[in-house]
Structure 1
Amino acid sequence: MENSPDTVAVIDDDPSMLRSVERLLNANGFLTEGYSSAEAFLNHAQTSVIRCIILDIHLGGMSGIDLWHQMKHSGINLPVIFITAVDDETLEREALNAGCIAYLHKPFPAESLVAAINSALQCSSRD
C-alpha cells in the first residue's frame, strides 16, 4: 500500500503567491496547508502532520525568520524552504548557515521548489 502524500505548509502573506504555490504543489502530488501569516500558522497548524514548510521571509507581523527561530526554540524541527522577493545577501547567508533547505528568490522556477521539497522530505525521513 502506498503512503499518503506528504503535507507541506505554505506561509505567505501575498494571497496570489500562496494560491500559486499551493496549486503547484498539489499538481506535484503534495497536500498543502496554506497560512497567510506566521501567527495563523502558530495558532492553527498541526505540526505533527506537516513534513516541510515553505516560508516567506517578509511577512506582515512576525517575520518568517522570527517564526523559524520560535519553532526551533519550541523544539519544532521541520525542514524550511525560504522564499523572498527581497535581495538581502546577509539574510540569505544567515538562513543558509542556520540550516534551511533552500533560499529561493521570487519568482523562482517551479522545478527548483519541487526539488527543494523532495530534498527536505528525504532529509526528514532519515531523522
Structure 2
Amino acid sequence: MDDDSSMRKCMKRLLNEHGFNVALFDSGVALLRRADFGSAFCVIIDINLHDQSGIDLRRQLADRGVRLPVIFITGNDSDSNRSAAVEAGCIGYLSKPFAARSLIEAVEAALAEVF
C-alpha cells in the first residue's frame, strides 16, 4: 500500500509480472476495511501515508489479529524510521527509489516465511 497511485500501479505491474496477485489500497482506512486477509501472504506499506503512519497501520493490523509479514517502503529513510519498522516487526525495509529486484526478493522472503 502506497499513497502514490503511480507507485502502487508500478508495484502491482512488477509483482504481477512475477506471478503474484496484488490488491491495491489507497489509504490505511481502505486496507483496514478489508474483511478477509485469508489469501494474502504479506502486506507492503509505505511508512508515510497521507492519512496515517504506516508503522501505526501495522500496529492496527496486528491488533486485529493480522499476523502477515510486512514490507515497509519509504521515501524518507532515517534511522528512526528504520528502527520503528524493525520494532514493528517488518520482514523488509526498502528506501525509495529501490531496485525492482529488491522488492521481489522481499516478497519472496515473506512468502517463504509464511509457507
Check whether TM > 0.5: yes
Unmatched 5+ stretches in structure 1? 1-10
Aligned mates of 1:105, 1:89 — CA distance in 2: 12
The code of the aligned residue for 2:52 comes to: M
Instruction: Call closer, same or farther: CA 1:45–1:31 in 2, change over 3 Å.
Output: farther
Aligned length: 115
For the pair 1:19 / 2:9, whether they are aligned, the reply is yes
The code of the aligned residue for 2:85 comes to: A
Aligned mates of 1:19, 1:94 — CA distance in 2: 26
Task: Determine which of 58, 62, 76 is the counterpart of 2:66.
Answer: 76
Give 1 or 2: higher strand fraction.
Answer: 1
**RMSD between aligned alpha carbons?**
1.1
The match for 1:30 is 20
1:51–1:79: 8 Å Cα contact kept in structure 2? yes
1:39–1:62: 8 Å Cα contact kept in structure 2? no
How high is the sequence identity, in percent, across the aligned residues?
A: 44
The match for 1:86 is 76
Aligned mates of 1:64, 1:45 — CA distance in 2: 19
Larger Rg: 1
Aligned mates of 1:45, 1:15 — CA distance in 2: 22
TM-score of the superposition, structure 2-length normalised? Answer: 0.94
CA offset at residue 118 of structure 1? 0.6
TM-score of the superposition, structure 1-length normalised? Answer: 0.86
1:80–1:100: 8 Å Cα contact kept in structure 2? yes
The match for 1:49 is 39
Deviations 1:27-68 (A, max 9, x none): 010000000111111113521111111111111112211110
Aligned mates of 1:46, 1:20 — CA distance in 2: 24
2:59–2:88: 8 Å Cα contact kept in structure 1? no
Structure 1 runs of 4+ aligned residues shifted over 3 Å read none
Unmatched 5+ stretches in structure 2? none
Deviations 1:1-29 (A, max 9, x none): xxxxxxxxxx1110100000000000010
